[in-house]
Amino acid sequence: MSASDQLSYNDTFENEESEIDDERATADDGDDEREEDTHYDRYSTEEFDDADLSTLQTYRESQRCSSSRRQLVSHSETQNKRKDDANENAADKEAEEEKEVTEVTGVSEDETELVTSAEDNLSDPSPPLEEKKQKQAVSMSDKLCLDQCQLSGKRVLMRVDYNVPMKDGVITNNQRIKATLPTIKYIRKKGARCIILMSHLGRPDGQKVAEFSLKPVAVELHKLLKKPVTFLEDCVGPEVEAACREPRQGSIILLENLRFHIEEEGQGLDESGNKIQAKPEDVEAFRKSLSSLGDVFVNDAFGTAHRAHSSVVGCTLPLRALGFLMKQEVHSFANVLENPKRPLLAILGGAKVSDKILLIENLLNLVDEMIIAGGMAFTFLKVIQNMSIGNSLFDEHGAGIVSNIMEKAKNNNVAIHFPVDFLAADQLAEDVNTETCTVEDGIPEGMMGLDVGEKSNQLFSEVILRAKTLVWNGPPGVFEMTKFGSGTKVMMNAVVKVTRMGAVTIIGGGDTATCAKKFNTEHLVSHVSTGGGASLELLEGKMLPGIEALSDAPIQRDMDKLRLSQCFLAGKRVMIRCDLDAPLHQEGLVQHWKLSAALPTIEYVLQQNPEKVLLLSHMGHPGGRVNLKYSLKPLAWELETLLNREVIFVSDCVGPEVEKQCSDAPPGSFILLENVQFHPEEEGFGRKDGQWVKSTPEDIQEFRRSLSSLCDVYINEAFGSSHLAHSSIVGVDAPQKALGLTCTKEMIAVEDFERDDKRPYLAIVGGLETAEKLFFLEDILNNVNEVIVVGELANYFLKVQGLELQSRLYDEYGVEPGLQILELAAKNGVQIYLPQDFIIGNEKSHNAKVEMLDATETIPEGWTLLDIGEQSYSQFKGVINRANKIVWYGPPGVCEIDIFCAGTKSLVASIGESLKSEASVMILGESTVNTWLVWKDQSVDCPVNKNGRAAMSFLAGNELPGVAILDNNPDRKKVKKKKKKKKKKKKKLEPLFEEELEPETVPTAEPAPEPTPQASPKKYVPPYNKKLPPLKTYEKPKPRIKYTGAPPPGQSKPYVSPLFKLKPWIPPPPPPSPPKKPLVPRLSGQPEPRPVTYHPPLTGSEVPYSQKYKIGEAGKPGPGFTLHQIKPLPPITELQAAEPPKSQRVPIQLPTVAKIDSRGNLTIGIEGNSKNIPPGVTVQIFESHSLH
């Protein structure tokens, strides 16, 4: 493997493994359990003394490390016996040559070390069965998928596997090309600007070889897509970048073979055939050039996912997603490795045990049963049962670990099944004599086992048919020859059968995929993998570089929580956790927005007649000690004035006295509890004797129990503290836990902004809370495209880059966090913009001396950076104007002072211009919101949230602990169930001619012509009225109805419309006697009836379309309407002649309903009676009106 590949993947993985080992070593001491129980969270250092910063810094760093590597730690714990085999992921040509040699002559030095390593691992105590059957965290199913990306107008760079076989420049098998078509068509359908395809072909070893050109693939792709495909003669470089910079909308571009460049694999051959390594700087330039070609990276080449090549792991675009082919592979193996249905069966074949050591070892931790067949079964049987195997395959080095494998299987309760009989021959050929041998009798000398026998087939089929999940890697015999393919065919039939029974069946690529193709069963199993080496490494428990390099999927946060309006509060004790951290002065409370924000929820709860209402909050940073400076008592006086009712103030928030005092309070009481942060158990740590100490889990548990005993319903109205896992936020165990009114409103606003997928996405981060914003900046780099850093945070990053600036944050944390963030930004393709000049002052006042300073100059002693300069906000204006989604958290300067507010005003003006261009904007943080509301253009508006820390944490993709612990919305689940039931009912109506349905009403004025007897038209399309929604048309199936009774006159077999289900034809009843009273009685107050004339058929041109009949409202028949079988019009009172005249006026009283039957006949319903009009007769309306 090249140095560049090791830099990009292996070294990083090794470093992470070592850090995880350190964390696990610490966890063994019990510290991790205490930290998890106490729910520590990052905390602001603004109120801390300098002496305490080092202690808090250590705590924060440990929390960051634990949070960012949570998934890797989980994976490491389940795979703690696995050695680091990442160097095998990019196996080069030399390794393959060595493998060929060792198969013939012996075993390599690396293989000897591998066997020794496996022996050590297998000799370790095995985990219990319960641990084995738990979910294995493989971090595959949580990767970003193509259907989660916004593709409209984007250039999509797609890695595919077009390594197809060719002969004389002609592709002989295009299956790999066809496999990528669904992904390509989806990208085009979603409006992507262009698709740029890149692939390798063969092994040109870094040289441009015409034989391995992808030009024939472009021709084949054009044939399959029937779209123009542009082929470029190279894959990187200025010409390629220019061609992909402004491509035609919807275009498809195929790059030349990636392996024509040595930087793709990291190594190759020179012109003399000598092996050479690519330079790291050249590899970096190659990857940068590839990344510049697109806006979104899609990997749809599972077959190369186990190789750390530049096109697989080197893309730095912010969105790196799975294609549909890759998604199917990853999710299929995730079903086996992460959460399989039990029992789980593994079928393993192959020649040598030593080739499958890691595979067997990992699967023994997962499966319930295992079948070992193929060549390596002889090694097991000879060691275990001392079977005579003749000339059959025997792995001497693998034989040394057979006993350890069997011991581990026994400890893990895994049943291993071996063949019991074999089909043996003296040579590998079709026309040889064969002999059936058993394990007891052995295989004679000079013969070798080439397939399993009938008894083995029966045994394996029984094992397969009881599995719920199955993974198969390696056939049991030489299936390429018909004579020795019976065992493989029987096994395939059993796998197909168990798939039909509902089992999940995965065929793991390689020879097994080839046999599925040979027997034409690829579509009869759950999944056939397209990557032999990649699927094998997944089953071995390795993490594939191509999957690890992709972006993580957004966290599926369930934010639809129980709301206050859904709770029954009458007679209940209700605790409201709100955020009353309001500023105080000597006289008492200063009116503050946080108190006003809590009033709607408080007033609503009081109106619901609860037994008691308890208000719980924090104020300031007392450090877990009683400090009357931060007492909530002044708030009790203020609340009495605002609510116009008595407020009982309790001088503590937990303990027996508080529980008794709240219990003794009269019904309807409103109680304010003392500052919850007077207790160290609230945050999990506090000050004691000048030191920060952690609270014990027992004290925290008792603190939370006491809080929980005070209430029946818990309401979270503290959105600004919901990102903190404090005891009063996540530890109150009440029967009902719901969102408050204001908290719900803020959640909806932030969630709506997060769902907006506009790009480019810009984050502006500034202000003074630099410690918190450093972490938020690290989190949000996974979501945004560009970042503007201002304020104290900008000073820190400039100092990280070597400038002589004053930065307290730099002194607290050092250079390491800043370098990590810059590295993460470069990896995600996020551009970070820092100020280029500053305004400095000698003091923070209106009378301060002010000077302009370039970012490269040293700040004079005693001076401070207080705002950005003109050059900076001129640059920032361009960045803001091109963004379509902006989040702003923190001003760039001391905007409270006039001489230092120019930078903030410039940002407000630029964001206002973006709002006029329909950009999505959200302003976060109290100081930022206040400056925005004062200086913004009154013609523009956007959502704001003064709780900046919680909102920014949510937008960064983190789950809010204070929201996650609340009860789910029960109404949402009921709605989903109803929708599912409706869908099931609709599906039952889809099949035709299986049950009788009522015929539908089809509006028309022109009857459909009578079809010729026994005619079968391809489609029947009724003449729809344009004012009604069209009905679905169906292919007319072959008649499957037996007709009974006499057919209508002049017709041998009635025509059956595919829109209806008709009953057997029955002659109509005799016509009713003529009515004694007038046909249409007039009602008082009704207008004169409009005449309707019966006359012979007219052509379509003689009857205007606007005068044709239409059905009434919603196409439904009127009351009392019935449909009769049609026969010639019977005589009625007004028409006594034997044959009706050509034209006769008949008065018809409205309302009247018209309906067409299956033969195109028109029926007019008149106030409960019916008047039938025979075929071939058209109704004409006098006056240009429609009949209803």
Take residue 1129 and report the two structure tokens written for it. Answer: 């019009």
Lowest pLDDT segment from 46-55, 766-775, 852-861, 1043-1052: 46-55
Q: What is the pLDDT of residue 193?
A: 92
Higher pLDDT among residues 632 and 136, named by residue? 632
- Rounded to 10 degrees, the C-alpha dihedral 778/782/783/789 comes to 30
Write out pLDDT tens, residues 724-747.
999 999 999 999 999 999 999 998
Question: Where does the pLDDT of residue 838 fall: very low under 50, low under 70, confident under 90, or very high at 90 and above?
Answer: confident
Q: Which of 155, 176, 193, 694 is catalytic?
A: 176
Compute the average pLDDT of residues 654-681: 94
Q: Is residue 163 within 8 Å of 278, Cβ to Cβ? A: no
Please report where in the chains the tokens 């990052």 appear, as a residue. 42
Higher pLDDT among residues 1133 and 523, named by residue? 523
Q: Is residue 26 within 8 Å of 32, Cβ to Cβ? A: yes
- Residues 789, 891 within the same domain: yes
Compute the average pLDDT of residues 405-428: 92
Q: What is the pLDDT of residue 792?
A: 82
Lowest pLDDT segment from 772-786, 947-961, 1133-1147: 1133-1147
Q: What is the pLDDT of residue 982?
A: 44
Compute the average pLDDT of residues 893-902: 88
Q: Which of 352, 563, 594, 694 is catalytic?
A: 352
Q: Over 50: is that where the pLDDT of 1071 sits?
A: yes
Question: Where does the pLDDT of residue 652 fall: very low under 50, low under 70, confident under 90, or very high at 90 and above?
Answer: very high
- Last residue of a domain, which of 272, 302, 322? 322
CB atoms under 10 Å from CB of 865, counted, come to 25
SS3 state of residue 1135? strand
Let me know if 533 is a catalytic residue: yes
- Residues 316, 337 within the same domain: no
Q: What is the pLDDT of residue 996?
A: 36
Nearest to 405 by CA among 377, 386, 442: 377
Segment of 2-16, 606-620, 786-800, 1123-1137 carrying the highest mean pLDDT: 606-620
Q: What is the pLDDT of residue 510?
A: 73
- Last residue of a domain, which of 322, 349, 378? 322
Residue 668 placed within a domain: yes
- Structural element, H or E, at residue 221: helix 215-225
Take residue 620 and report the two structure tokens written for it. Answer: 């300031």
Compute the average pLDDT of residues 98-111: 37
- Round to whole Å and give the CA distance between 639 and 634: 9
CA distances from 502 to 198, 329, 466, 525, 882 (A): 38, 19, 11, 10, 52
Nearest to 472 by CA among 363, 388, 365: 363
Q: Is residue 576 within 8 Å of 614, Cβ to Cβ? A: yes
Q: Over 60: is that where the pLDDT of 438 sits?
A: yes
Q: What is the pLDDT of residue 1127?
A: 40
Segment of 1-10, 325-334, 667-676, 805-814 carrying the highest mean pLDDT: 667-676
Q: Where are the alpha helices (H) located in 917-969, listed in sequence order?
A: 926-935, 948-955, 961-964
- Round to whole Å and give the CA distance between 527 and 359: 19
Q: What is the pLDDT of residue 882?
A: 92
Q: Where are the alpha helices (H) located in 450-509, listed in sequence order?
A: 454-465, 486-500
Residue 912 placed within a domain: yes
pTM of the model: 0.52
Task: Please report the sign of the dihedral spanned by the C-alpha atoms of residue 8, residue 10, residue 13, residue 18.
Answer: negative
Share of the chain above pLDDT 90, in %: 37
Residue 727 backbone dihedrals phi, psi, to 5 degrees: -60, -45
Q: Is the peptide bond before 760 cis (omega within 30 degrees of 0)?
A: yes
Compute the average pLDDT of residues 427-454: 89
Write out pLDDT tens, residues 31-76.
333 333 333 233 233 333 333 333 333 333 333 333 333 333 333 3
Q: What is the pLDDT of residue 533?
A: 80
Burial state string for 441-479 with b = 16 or more CB within 10 A and e = fewer than 16? ebbeeebbbbbbbeebbebbbebbeebbbbbbbbbbbbb
Residue 971 placed within a domain: no
Compute the average pLDDT of residues 1133-1152: 43
Q: Over 50: is that where the pLDDT of 345 sits?
A: yes
Residue 767 placed within a domain: yes
- Residues 1054, 1162 within the same domain: yes
Domain that holds residue 35: 6-96+110-129
Q: Which of 268, 303, 453, 510 is catalytic?
A: 510
Q: How far is CA 1065 from the centre of its chain?
A: 55
Q: Is the peptide bond before 343 cis (omega within 30 degrees of 0)?
A: yes
Residue 970 placed within a domain: no
Q: What is the largest CA-CA distance in the chain?
A: 120
Write out pLDDT tens, residues 507-543.
986 788 888 888 889 889 998 887 778 888 888 878 8
Q: Over 90: is that where the pLDDT of 911 sits?
A: yes
Q: Over 70: is that where the pLDDT of 88 sits?
A: no
**CATH code for the domain in which residue 363 is found:** 3.40.50.1260
SS3 state of residue 1175? coil
Burial state string for 251-265 with b = 16 or more CB within 10 A and e = fewer than 16? bbbbbbbbbbbbbbb
Let me know if 510 is a catalytic residue: yes
- Residues 511, 425 within the same domain: yes
Compute the average pLDDT of residues 864-880: 90
CB atoms under 10 Å from CB of 947, counted, come to 25
Q: What is the pLDDT of residue 1?
A: 37
Residue 558 placed within a domain: no
SS3 state of residue 921? strand
- Residues 632, 727 within the same domain: yes
SS3 state of residue 356? helix
- Residues 281, 372 within the same domain: no
- Round to whole Å and give the CA distance between 768 and 794: 11
- Last residue of a domain, which of 514, 548, 582? 548
CA distances from 288 to 272, 281, 306, 353 (A): 29, 10, 21, 42
- Round to whole Å and give the CA distance between 996 and 978: 26
Catalogue the E-assigned strands of 910-1005.
Answer: 920-924, 944-945
Segment of 645-654, 892-901, 981-990, 1031-1040 carrying the highest mean pLDDT: 645-654
Tally of domains in the chain: 6
Q: What is the pLDDT of residue 1122?
A: 38
- Round to whole Å and give the CA distance between 643 and 458: 81
SS3 state of residue 612? strand
Please report where in the chains the tokens 């305490």 appear, as a residue. 52
Nearest to 294 by CA among 261, 247, 364: 247
Take residue 385 and report the two structure tokens written for it. Answer: 């049962």
SS3 state of residue 15? helix
Nearest to 662 by CA among 699, 626, 615: 615
Take residue 3 and report the two structure tokens written for it. Answer: 């140095």
- Residues 525, 576 within the same domain: no
- Residues 461, 543 within the same domain: yes
Task: Please report the sign of the dihedral spanned by the C-alpha atoms of residue 1119, residue 1124, residue 1129, residue 1132.
Answer: negative
In sequence order, what DSSP letters do the residues of 758-772 get, joined into one string?
A: -SSEEEEE-SS-HHH
- Residues 939, 1004 within the same domain: no
Beta carbons within 8 Å of 581's beta carbon, 6+ residues apart: 594, 617, 618, 619, 620, 720
Q: What is the pLDDT of residue 672?
A: 95
Q: Over 90: is that where the pLDDT of 350 sits?
A: no
- Structural element, H or E, at residue 452: strand 448-452
Q: What is the pLDDT of residue 294?
A: 93
In sequence order, what DSSP letters do the residues of 152-217 get, joined into one string?
A: TT-EEEEE------EETTEES--HHHHHTHHHHHHHHHTT-SEEEEE---S--TTS--GGG-SHHH
Residue 742 placed within a domain: yes
* Residue type at 1159 in one-letter notation: R
Take residue 328 and report the two structure tokens written for it. Answer: 């199917």
Q: Over 80: is that where the pLDDT of 1167 sits?
A: no
Lowest pLDDT segment from 349-353, 737-741, 821-825, 1177-1181: 1177-1181
Q: What is the pLDDT of residue 1153?
A: 53
Higher pLDDT among residues 960 and 126, named by residue? 960
Q: What is the pLDDT of residue 1049?
A: 54
Q: Is residue 294 within 8 Å of 244, Cβ to Cβ? A: yes
- Round to whole Å and give the CA distance between 561 and 344: 37
Mean pLDDT of the chain: 74
- Residues 574, 460 within the same domain: no
Compute the average pLDDT of residues 771-795: 84
Q: Which of 374, 453, 533, 791 is catalytic?
A: 533
- Residues 232, 366 within the same domain: no
- Residues 54, 188 within the same domain: no
Q: What is the pLDDT of residue 972?
A: 57
Q: Is residue 717 within 8 Å of 963, Cβ to Cβ? A: no
β-strands 275-277, 267-269 pairing: antiparallel
Take residue 715 and report the two structure tokens written for it. Answer: 């309401």
Let me know if 176 is a catalytic residue: yes
Write out pLDDT tens, residues 950-985.
888 888 778 889 999 999 888 654 434 444 444 444
Inter-helix orientation angle 741-755/948-955, to 10°: 40
Burial of 665 per CB tally in 10 Å (0-12, 13-18, 19+) = middle
- Round to whole Å and give the CA distance between 507 and 515: 10
User: In terms of C-beta distances under 8 Å and separation of at least 24 residues, what long-range contacts does 430-437 make, across chains too?
Assistant: 430/481, 430/482, 430/483, 432/483, 434/483
Write out pLDDT tens, residues 490-504.
999 999 999 999 999
Residue 978 placed within a domain: no
Beta carbons within 8 Å of 892's beta carbon, 6+ residues apart: 766, 790, 791, 794, 835, 867, 868, 872, 873, 903, 904, 907
Q: What is the pLDDT of residue 433?
A: 85
Let me know if 546 is a catalytic residue: no
Compute the average pLDDT of residues 1059-1085: 53
List the end-to-end C-alpha distance of the chain, in Å, as a whole number. 81
CA distances from 520 to 465, 499, 505, 1072 (A): 20, 15, 15, 66
- Round to whole Å and give the CA distance between 689 and 694: 13
Write out pLDDT tens, residues 1074-1102.
655 444 444 444 445 444 444 444 444 44
Compute the average pLDDT of residues 1168-1178: 47
SS3 state of residue 472? strand
